[in-house]
């Protein structure tokens, strides 16, 4: 039974300590997310987020940290942007690609160190742009140069502290720490979104009941679709030739190589959201410059605030990043070489280059389904919000949020299950 598993989890000292450690990091994150920077006008801040729904979606990923203009208001955005930039650079600079793909664990650590260093100027730039934008919207009062510098340094330190917490959770906890913190941010905003939804129902009365029913029906469909696609696999059959060494025979077995329908996970959505919000932030920052620069910035800001433009660009970026991220992280040529070294082959396909080409063919067909699904999930909140009139949909069961929550929960359960099985083998 499920409760027996929970009891078993907390009986194991190592596993219990890891879970409690991650929960402790969540507590620290939530405390930091509720400590605002100085000079914030709470009423104007609420009006701003009601006016700009796109920043409301960004606020979901920071767990309300942006809504409060807290010390960690940038969330993990600067770190994610740094990772995006350096992964793009791997396609331009072969030496960087060699470090990332062929450098082993030392190469990955060096690559991650580059991303950490790049996070500092990105966090400072984004923090400055945010402060200027909120000042223009009268959310923050006029700051003296000293107070402005202090605020930027505080926001930058908050972003770096959150990055450190994420890496600490990856090292000493269960699963990917960055994903877990994004998950915590999304889940933390659920109670407030539910309260807002019921307030809408009380205001609208009986007229809102059909919308609520439609809301839950669509929510159920999206949850089912997310779980099915997230768990779907395309199995490629693999056989191993028999090898005789001394008096023993090895191989001669058949297995399969699983390809996920959605091999990139939630990363393309996070990448696309980061890229899509960046021009709006810069345009809002330059909007008060005046002259031609100010007019161009205002036109760009108005362009990105158009829901149709935003939805189409969001969909295309998610599809593009799905292919890009899979190309960076999944190398069929290396897999075919490893199979050949171990005496494995795909029935009916010659080992080596033919195997790599066959895997490219299968991957591209599978990836098309995954990319289109991710793109549909990304724009689904806007569609359902337009149909039902419930603005909290994207915060409660919006495709982006839900996909992250489902992926993180399933991955965490797999990690816990694997550790329980390891303990059973050790006992045996």
Q: How far apart are CA 56 and CA 66, in angstroms?
A: 9
The residue with tokens 């029913």 is 213
**Over residues 348-371, mean pLDDT:** 84
Q: What are the pLDDT digits (tens) for 89-115? A: 887 888 887 877 776 778 888 888 988
Residue 167 pLDDT more than 80?
A: yes
> What count of Cα atoms within 13 Å lies in the side-chain half-sphere of residue 128?
10
Alpha-carbon distances, residue 428 vs 32, 130, 182, 423 (angstroms):
44, 57, 38, 9
pLDDT at res. 231:
78
Q: How far apart are CA 322 and CA 267, in angstroms?
A: 8
Q: Which residue has the higher pLDDT, 317 or 396?
A: 317
Q: How far apart are CA 5 and CA 413, in angstroms?
A: 11
Residue 44 pLDDT more than 80?
A: no
Q: For residue 373, what pLDDT band results from cuts at 50, 70 and 90?
A: confident
pLDDT at res. 120:
92
CATH code, residues 1-188: 1.10.3370.10
Residue 425 pLDDT more than 70?
A: no
**Over residues 271-283, mean pLDDT:** 72
pLDDT at res. 295:
72
Rounded to two decimals, the pTM is: 0.74
Cβ pair 408, 183 in contact under 8 A:
yes
Q: Which residues of 294-319 are buried (b: 16+ CB within 10 A; e: fewer)?
A: eeebbebbeebeeeeebbebbbebbb
Cβ pair 408, 180 in contact under 8 A:
yes
pLDDT at res. 117:
92
Q: What are the pLDDT digits (tens) for 219-266? A: 777 777 777 777 788 888 888 776 666 666 655 667 788 888 877 777
Alpha-carbon distances, residue 97 vs 5, 76, 103, 140, 327 (angstroms):
43, 24, 9, 43, 12
The residue with tokens 């007019």 is 295
**Over residues 66-93, mean pLDDT:** 80
Helix (H) or strand (E) holding 145, with range, is helix 145-172
Cβ pair 399, 377 in contact under 8 A:
yes
Tell me which range, 132-136, 206-210, 380-384, is most confidently predicted by mean pLDDT. Answer: 132-136
Residue 375 pLDDT more than 80?
A: yes
Residue 131 pLDDT more than 60?
A: yes
Cβ pair 400, 419 in contact under 8 A:
no
pLDDT > 90: percent of the chain: 2
Cβ pair 243, 422 in contact under 8 A:
no
Helices (H) and strands (E) in the chain, counts: 18, 5
Q: Which residue has the higher pLDDT, 230 or 147?
A: 147
Q: How far apart are CA 299 and CA 279, in angstroms?
A: 11
In order, the DSSP letters of 167-194 are HHHHHHSSS-HHHHHHHHHHHHTHHHHH
**CB neighbours (10 Å) of residue 369?**
14
In order, the DSSP letters of 2-60 are HHHHHHHHHHSHHHHHHHHHHHHHHHHHHHHTT-BPSSB-HHHHHHHHHH-HHHHHHHH
Residue 125 pLDDT more than 80?
A: yes
- Residue 259 token pair: 């390809």
Single out the residue of 23, 18, 14, 20 nearest to residue 422, CA to CA.
14
Q: Which residue has the higher pLDDT, 212 or 260?
A: 260
Contacting residues for 156 by C-beta, under 8 A, at least 6 apart: 120, 123, 124, 127
Q: Which residue has the higher pLDDT, 242 or 146?
A: 146
**Over residues 301-308, mean pLDDT:** 70
Residue 397 pLDDT more than 50?
A: no
- Map residue 238 onto helix, strand or coil: strand
Q: How far apart are CA 398 and CA 79, in angstroms?
A: 24
- Residue 80 token pair: 């994610």
Residue 177 pLDDT more than 60?
A: yes
pLDDT at res. 169:
86
> What count of Cα atoms within 13 Å lies in the side-chain half-sphere of residue 149?
3
pLDDT at res. 328:
75
């Amino acid at each position: 039974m499920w409760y027996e598993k929970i009891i078993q989890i907390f009986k194991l000292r190592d596993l219990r300590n890891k879970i409690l450690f991650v929960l402790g990091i969540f507590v620290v994150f939530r405390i930091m997310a509720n400590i605002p920077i100085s000079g914030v006008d709470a009423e104007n801040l609420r009006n701003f987020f009601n006016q700009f729904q796109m920043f409301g979606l960004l606020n979901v990923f920071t767990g309300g940290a942006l809504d409060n203009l807290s010390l960690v208001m940038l969330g993990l955005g600067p770190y994610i942007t740094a990772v995006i930039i350096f992964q793009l650079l791997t396609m331009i600079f072969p030496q960087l690609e060699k470090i990332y793909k062929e450098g082993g664990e030392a190469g990955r650590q060096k690559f991650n160190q580059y991303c950490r260093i790049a996070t500092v100027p990105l966090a400072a730039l984004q923090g400055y742009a945010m402060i200027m934008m909120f000042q223009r919207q009268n959310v923050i009062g006029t700051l003296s140069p000293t107070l402005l510098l202090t605020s930027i340094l505080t926001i930058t330190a908050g972003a770096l502290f959150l990055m450190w917490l994420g890496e600490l959770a990856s090292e000493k906890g269960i699963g990917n720490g960055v994903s877990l913190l994004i998950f915590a941010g999304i889940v933390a905003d659920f109670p407030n979104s539910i309260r807002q939804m019921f307030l809408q129902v009380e205001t609208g009365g009986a007229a809102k009941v059909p919308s609520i029913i439609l809301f839950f029906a669509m929510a159920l469909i999206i949850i089912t679709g997310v779980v099915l696609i997230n768990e779907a696999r395309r199995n490629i059959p693999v056989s191993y030739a028999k090898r005789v060494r001394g008096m023993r025979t090895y191989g001669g077995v058949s297995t399969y190589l699983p390809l996920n329908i959605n091999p990139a996970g939630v990363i393309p959505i996070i990448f696309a959201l980061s890229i899509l919000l960046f021009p709006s932030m810069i345009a809002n920052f330059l909007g008060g410059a005046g002259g031609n620069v100010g007019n161009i910035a205002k036109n760009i800001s108005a362009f990105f605030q158009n829901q149709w433009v935003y939805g189409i660009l969001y969909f295309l970026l998610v599809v593009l990043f799905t292919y890009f991220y899979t190309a960076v992280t999944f190398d069929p040529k290396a897999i075919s070489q490893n199979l050949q070294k171990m005496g494995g082959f795909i029935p009916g396909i010659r080992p080596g280059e033919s195997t790599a080409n066959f895997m490219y063919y299968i991957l591209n067909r599978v990836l098309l389904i995954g990319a289109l699904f991710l793109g549909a999930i990304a724009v689904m909140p806007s569609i359902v919000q337009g149909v039902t009139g419930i603005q909290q949909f994207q915060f409660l069961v919006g495709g982006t949020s839900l996909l992250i929550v489902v992926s993180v929960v399933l991955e965490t359960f797999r990690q816990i299950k694997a550790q329980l099985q390891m303990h059973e083998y050790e006992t045996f």
